[in-house]
Amino acid sequence: MRIIHSLGVAAVTTALAATVVLGGATTASAAPKTYVNCTAVHKVYSGGIAKKSVTKNRVTSGGKTTYRALKGTVKKDDALYGANKKMDRDGDGIACEKS
């Protein structure tokens, strides 16, 4: 009985250690990057960060709304946009866009 009990404890300890290591690696790589400001975003994505569903840039000027093509390299990623949503001043789904 003593040998079986020792093997059981060792197996459970090994399984828990593997779960902690694997779980930690998955969680750390899943967090989207939050940028300090639009200058930092433009160094990586010259056209900003957009929701996946966005296809055009909505521009409102003088009470008139028009839609323009996206300019520069625009990263379409819902999680990344969500982490940097505060930089979407006009609320069109594109943070730090170039109009």
Name the average pLDDT for the chain: 82
The overall pTM is greater than 0.75: no
17 torsion bin: left (phi>0), alpha (psi -120 to 50), beta (else): alpha
Q: What is the DSSP string of 41-90?
A: HHHH-TTEEE-TT--SEEEEETTEEEEE---S-EEE-HHHHHHTGGG-TT
Q: Is 35 helix (H, G, I), strand (E, B) or coil?
A: coil
Radius of gyration of the chain, Cα coordinates, nearest whole angstrom: 23
Q: Could you report the per-residue pLDDT of 43-90, keeping only the tens digit for each?
A: 999 999 999 999 999 999 999 999 999 999 999 999 999 999 999 999
